[in-house]
A and B are shown apart, each in its own frame.
Chain A
Amino acid sequence: MSPSVRLQEMIRVIRSARTQGEERGVIQRECAAIRAQFRQADNGGRSHNLAKLLYVHMLGYPAHFGQMECVRLIASPRYNEKRVGYLGAMMLLDENQDASLLITNSIKNDLAHSSQYVQSLALCTLACMGSAEMCRDLAPEIDRLLRASSSYIKKKATLCAVHIVRKVPELGELFTPAARALLAEKNHGVLHGAVILITELCERNAQTLVQFREAVPELVHIMRGLVTSGYSPEHTVAGISDPFLQVRILRLLRILGRNNDTASDAMNDLLAQVATNTDSSKTAGSAVLYETVLTVMDIKSESGLRVLAVNILGRFLLNNDRNIRYISMTSLQKIVSTDHNAVQRHRGTIVDCLKDQDASVKRRALELSLALVSAINIRSMMKELLLFLSTCPPELKSHAASGIFNAAERYSPSQRWHIDTILHVLITAGADVRDETVPNLIQLITNASQLHCYTVHKLYRALVADISQQPLVQVACWCIGEYGDSLLQGDCEETEPIQVTEDDILDALETVLQSHMSSPATRGFALTATMKLSTRITENVDRIRSIVSIYGSCMDVELQQRAVEYNALFKKYDHMRAAVLEKMPVMDRSSMGQTNGESGGGGVQELEPTKPKQPEMMVAPQPASQVCDLLDLLSDPEEPSLPGGPLGPGGAPLGPAGLMSGSAGGDLLYLLGGLELTPTPTPATAPAAVTVYDKSGVVLKLSCERPLDASQTITLTATNTSDHDVSSLTLQAAVPKNVQLQMKAPSGDSLPARSSAVVTQTVLLNNPNKVSLKMRVRLSYTTS
């Protein structure tokens, strides 16, 4: 009987087993037979027994006893036995097994075998499971084979070298010369392997990278040949000439062109050609286009090429094929920070993808959407994001929630909107928000004093509707405790009036206290809120007293402690109760490393008592943390000359001094306030003076007085510490259209050398429409 039949016979028998137990029985018998066979001398069926064992192994049964048999078969002179032996080695042995070292010698011998098929087996096995040890031992052999005459061997040796370089990067130097020579090969298989090898070498060694940059023209030539060549039946896939090789070359070009102008220039034309000529109706073409786009975005390409690339991604975004849409969003994610505006154009489509059925696509769309949120589109984007939050899969909920919070914090147009958004998130996805959401929200509410009434009404309604979402309940309890009196008043202009009695409020709080859904922390909130209400309400103080005393014997230690202390407050320290339970003062978040930006006039007065040194001048109601503002400032896309940081005192010339756009928030004077509040202290003397020009000893400073709302006084001061006299000093200033400018006469127009003389000029600004303030200053003088 033919040996192969016995293997297939066994497979058939195993498959016909009706239960797991029956199968196990069959396999145990077979394994016993195989073990016995292994112990016998060579009987011509060794390879088939090993094959049987490998099948059993694939089903999930242990096959350790086959390892030595693999080693023996590999050493056999017969090809069929070697073949199965090597297969067994790849399946049963990995570099962590001791037995793998035993095959090193066999591999070495086989690498020098006369038959290329035997050499091929050895190369394949080494590339699959070669350990670092084996790689070091056999690297010289591989290097020799890289120069072999047979393409068949060369292509395999190249990939083997790739594996060696991945395992032992130092050996890369050994292969570099051979790799360079391989680029001249015509055989696609060898070329493909060579490109991969060069990619690995360049990624790991900067010098090799520099060396291979010289090969860019050669690579461009090869690539051009592929793109413009006609149909070749051997390599063409869906009309694309060897897409595998094309993708590999594009990736190598990406690595070579990165951060290097010369190399990038050399490949610009080629990339444009590939981008325009590749047919993307099938996956092969799309794969090539995708790789091209990645390369274009990563090297120093011309702007026209970048636009072409982003347009390709935009086209992908509209493709019916879900895979292509996913790919497109992955790429857009990579470039959203550098080419923000270009990606913004596709916002609509991206937001639509939030509604896609597929979880992968949804995730990508969510990340992109969060990256695309800006002050301009915040309202519409938030609508979409909140809608998404209510229907999104659970694994994305917390990511979406935290993304929404960040976006809201940075760009919310008003405090009320901000609070509404956070409440909405808490109601929809309360269980998945981070822990610091609760204190953040509380602090936000405290600071929005004109919204206390509105907030507490909303929260009360939410609390009555649903007490399962812990963060929401906690915030609601806190607010009711603090602002319960506004709730009782009943009327609030921003929401529908609702009649709430003291009993209603206490009922709600008691429900929270007693519910099994409430966590211990939530109960703590509820108890404290109940206590605070004792000073805010008039009639049911006894009820509060009784609730508090009940909890004096609660099992939860934290609650018990609170209750006992509150009890004491009622009994012994009743005279202090009102003072202790007073309304909370405004909290600032500077301890959290970030100051909360204020919006609306109401916020300003709150903040002033805590920051007496630098008066805040809020002209335009703009939110967002001031630290973020400065960063926005530096990367504001509307002012391309910004990078260079004209902010710091003694920094570079201000140049076109438009420092802020409306979206980034604030105005010139807000900037000064921003400087004041950043963590790196520049201790200011009021008023702060910003250096707007500092070159060869001539310094121009700008300072402003504490203004009234619409009009401001700015003083420009020029000093000269250089060795030359300065004369004919003139200052000119320009402001946006709606702002009125009046320049007073300067105090003088010359500054002698190395003097402490000063020229000052006062500028009056009137900003009745409260537009964002920008000022351009031109300083001209002659030096001796």
Chain B
Amino acid sequence: MRFMLLFSRQGKLRLQKWYVPLGDQEKRRLGRELVQTILGRKAKMCSFLEWRDLKVVYKRYASLYFCCAIEEQDNELITLEVIHRYVELLDKYFGSVCELDIIFNFEKAYFILDEFLLGGEAQETSKKSVLKAIEQADQLTSTCYQQASPRITSPTCYEHA
């Protein structure tokens, strides 16, 4: 995989993971143009498109578009499965995930992605194992916080903006 983008229906980027070395400007430009292209597509259209010299696979889940750019030899259908697996992981972690979860906990979304994909390829094909690893890492993190400051951190709720 070359990169993965998550963006809203208004074109706002919610997550971007780049596996190829590109400059900041170029990433922004590429991202913007690809987002516009995908948002311009109609509802029932094919999930695959050839854009510039890339193969792009995208799928919409509620108000979020999940979009991956893959290599020439990669299997498009299995990429759809990869996207679906990531959504399932988010769903399990956040409990019925919605876009707001990803906005307010973007770093956690990244951590989950990094536990599922490494260097652009799937590292673990078992959902259970990924979630367990995240859980352990989270525990480690909260232990660190407790050591730093004895007050317990609790999840807060966030209002609709």
Residues in B with CB closer than 8 Å to A12 are 104, 158-159, 161
Is the pair B111, A129 in contact by a Cβ cutoff of 8 Å?
A: no
Tell me how far the C-beta of A155 lies from the nearest C-beta in chain B, rounded to whole angstroms.
5
A-B pairs with beta carbons under 8 Å apart, 26 shown = A2-B156, A5-B156, A11-B158, A12-B158, A54-B106, A60-B13, A79-B141, A79-B144, A83-B137, A94-B18, A120-B133, A162-B119, A188-B125, A189-B125, A189-B129, A193-B123, A287-B77, A287-B80, A290-B77, A323-B48, A327-B76, A357-B42, A358-B46, A359-B49, A361-B46, A363-B50
B104 touches which of A8, A58, A247 (Cβ 8 Å): A8
Interface: A156 (CB within 8 A):
yes
Residues in A with CB closer than 8 Å to B50 are 360, 363
- Residues facing B in A28-50 (CB within 8 A) are 44
Is the pair A8, B133 in contact by a Cβ cutoff of 8 Å?
A: no
Besides A51-B107, A127-B118, A361-B46, 19 other A-B contacts (C-beta < 8 A):
A11-B103, A12-B104, A80-B144, A80-B145, A81-B144, A83-B141, A87-B107, A87-B114, A129-B21, A155-B123, A159-B123, A193-B121, A234-B127, A243-B81, A244-B122, A245-B125, A283-B80, A323-B80, A357-B42
* Measured CA separation A115–B137 after assembly (Å): 10
Residues in A with CB closer than 8 Å to B49 are 359-360
Is the pair A243, B118 in contact by a Cβ cutoff of 8 Å?
A: no
Interface: B52 (CB within 8 A):
no
Tell me how far the C-beta of A346 lies from the nearest C-beta in chain B, rounded to whole angstroms.
19
Is the pair A16, B161 in contact by a Cβ cutoff of 8 Å?
A: yes
* Measured CA separation A234–B141 after assembly (Å): 26
Is the pair A15, B23 in contact by a Cβ cutoff of 8 Å?
A: no
Residues in B with CB closer than 8 Å to A235 are 125-126
Instruction: Write out, one digit per residue, whether chain A residues 1-36 have a CB within 8 A of any chain B CB (1) or not (0).
Output: 011110010011001100000000000000000000
B77 touches which of A79, A96, A322, A327 (Cβ 8 Å): A327
Is the pair A55, B106 in contact by a Cβ cutoff of 8 Å?
A: yes
Is the pair A117, B140 in contact by a Cβ cutoff of 8 Å?
A: yes
On A, residues with C-beta under 8 Å from B are: 2-5, 8, 11-12, 15-16, 44, 51, 54-55, 58-60, 78-81, 83-84, 87, 90, 94-96, 115, 117, 120, 123-124, 127-129, 131, 152, 155-156, 159-160, 162-163, 188-189, 192-193, 196, 234-235, 237, 242-245, 247, 251, 283-284, 286-287, 290-291, 322-324, 326-327, 357-361, 363
A159 touches which of B18, B118, B133 (Cβ 8 Å): B118
B119 touches which of A59, A163, A192 (Cβ 8 Å): A163
Which residue, A129, A163, A323, A327, has most C-beta atoms of chain B within 10 A?
Answer: A323
Is the pair B104, A3 in contact by a Cβ cutoff of 8 Å?
A: no
Residues in B with CB closer than 8 Å to A15 are 103, 161
* Measured CA separation A473–B65 after assembly (Å): 47
Report, nearest first, the 5 A-B pairs whose CB atoms are least far apart. Answer: A127-B119, A15-B161, A287-B77, A80-B144, A189-B124
* Measured CA separation A196–B74 after assembly (Å): 12
* Measured CA separation A551–B109 after assembly (Å): 72
* Measured CA separation A357–B127 after assembly (Å): 36
* Measured CA separation A291–B78 after assembly (Å): 9
Is the pair A58, B118 in contact by a Cβ cutoff of 8 Å?
A: no
* Measured CA separation A667–B145 after assembly (Å): 87
Residues in A with CB closer than 8 Å to B153 are 2-4
Given the contacts A8-B158, A94-B22, A359-B45, A83 and B111 also touching, CB distance less than 8 Å:
yes
Is the pair B77, A159 in contact by a Cβ cutoff of 8 Å?
A: no
Residues in B with CB closer than 8 Å to A152 are 133
- Residues facing A in B138-158 (CB within 8 A) are 140-141, 143-145, 148-149, 151, 153-154, 156, 158
Is the pair B140, A58 in contact by a Cβ cutoff of 8 Å?
A: no
- Residues facing A in B1-25 (CB within 8 A) are 13-19, 21-23
Interface size on B, residues (CB 8 A): 64
Residues in A with CB closer than 8 Å to B82 are 244
* Measured CA separation A196–B47 after assembly (Å): 25
Least CB separation from B141: chain A residue: A80
* Measured CA separation A536–B125 after assembly (Å): 80
* Measured CA separation A283–B118 after assembly (Å): 23
Interface: B136 (CB within 8 A):
yes
Tell me how far the C-beta of B26 lies from the nearest C-beta in chain A, rounded to whole angstroms.
10
- Residues facing A in B89-109 (CB within 8 A) are 103-104, 106-107
Tell me how far the C-beta of B99 lies from the nearest C-beta in chain A, rounded to whole angstroms.
12
Residues in A with CB closer than 8 Å to B77 are 283, 286-287, 290, 323-324, 327
* Measured CA separation A247–B70 after assembly (Å): 15
Is the pair B137, A117 in contact by a Cβ cutoff of 8 Å?
A: yes
Residues in B with CB closer than 8 Å to A129 are 21
Given the contacts A189-B129, A234-B126, A235-B126, A244 and B106 also touching, CB distance less than 8 Å:
no
Is the pair A247, B125 in contact by a Cβ cutoff of 8 Å?
A: no
* Measured CA separation A196–B76 after assembly (Å): 16
Is the pair B148, A44 in contact by a Cβ cutoff of 8 Å?
A: yes
Is the pair A44, B106 in contact by a Cβ cutoff of 8 Å?
A: no
Tell me how far the C-beta of B119 lies from the nearest C-beta in chain A, rounded to whole angstroms.
3
* Measured CA separation A357–B82 after assembly (Å): 27
Is the pair A155, B124 in contact by a Cβ cutoff of 8 Å?
A: yes
Least CB separation from A284: chain B residue: B81
Tell me how far the C-beta of A446 lies from the nearest C-beta in chain B, rounded to whole angstroms.
40
Is the pair A160, B118 in contact by a Cβ cutoff of 8 Å?
A: yes
Residues in B with CB closer than 8 Å to A242 are 125
Is the pair B45, A360 in contact by a Cβ cutoff of 8 Å?
A: yes
* Measured CA separation A243–B111 after assembly (Å): 24
* Measured CA separation A55–B136 after assembly (Å): 24
Least CB separation from B16: chain A residue: A58
* Measured CA separation A235–B48 after assembly (Å): 26
* Measured CA separation A152–B134 after assembly (Å): 12
Is the pair B75, A84 in contact by a Cβ cutoff of 8 Å?
A: no
Interface: B61 (CB within 8 A):
no
Is the pair B125, A357 in contact by a Cβ cutoff of 8 Å?
A: no
Least CB separation from B148: chain A residue: A44
* Measured CA separation A101–B110 after assembly (Å): 23
Residues in A with CB closer than 8 Å to B110 are 87
Is the pair B156, A96 in contact by a Cβ cutoff of 8 Å?
A: no
Residues in B with CB closer than 8 Å to A322 are 44-47
Least CB separation from B56: chain A residue: A360
Is the pair B81, A117 in contact by a Cβ cutoff of 8 Å?
A: no
Residues in A with CB closer than 8 Å to B159 are 12
Residues in A with CB closer than 8 Å to B46 are 322-323, 326, 358, 360-361
Tell me how far the C-beta of B72 lies from the nearest C-beta in chain A, rounded to whole angstroms.
11
A78 touches which of B22, B48, B125, B148 (Cβ 8 Å): B148
Least CB separation from A95: chain B residue: B21
Tell me how far the C-beta of B73 lies from the nearest C-beta in chain A, rounded to whole angstroms.
8
Tell me how far the C-beta of A400 lies from the nearest C-beta in chain B, rounded to whole angstroms.
16
Residues in B with CB closer than 8 Å to A163 are 119
Which residue, A115, A189, A357, has most C-beta atoms of chain B within 10 A?
Answer: A189
Interface: B60 (CB within 8 A):
no
Tell me how far the C-beta of A47 lies from the nearest C-beta in chain B, rounded to whole angstroms.
9
* Measured CA separation A94–B25 after assembly (Å): 12
Residues in A with CB closer than 8 Å to B17 are 90, 128
Residues in A with CB closer than 8 Å to B14 are 58
* Measured CA separation A327–B75 after assembly (Å): 9
Tell me how far the C-beta of B24 lies from the nearest C-beta in chain A, rounded to whole angstroms.
8
Residues in A with CB closer than 8 Å to B21 are 94-96, 129, 131
Tell me how far the C-beta of A53 lies from the nearest C-beta in chain B, rounded to whole angstroms.
11
Residues in B with CB closer than 8 Å to A244 are 78, 81-82, 122, 125
Is the pair A60, B78 in contact by a Cβ cutoff of 8 Å?
A: no
* Measured CA separation A3–B114 after assembly (Å): 23
Least CB separation from B159: chain A residue: A12
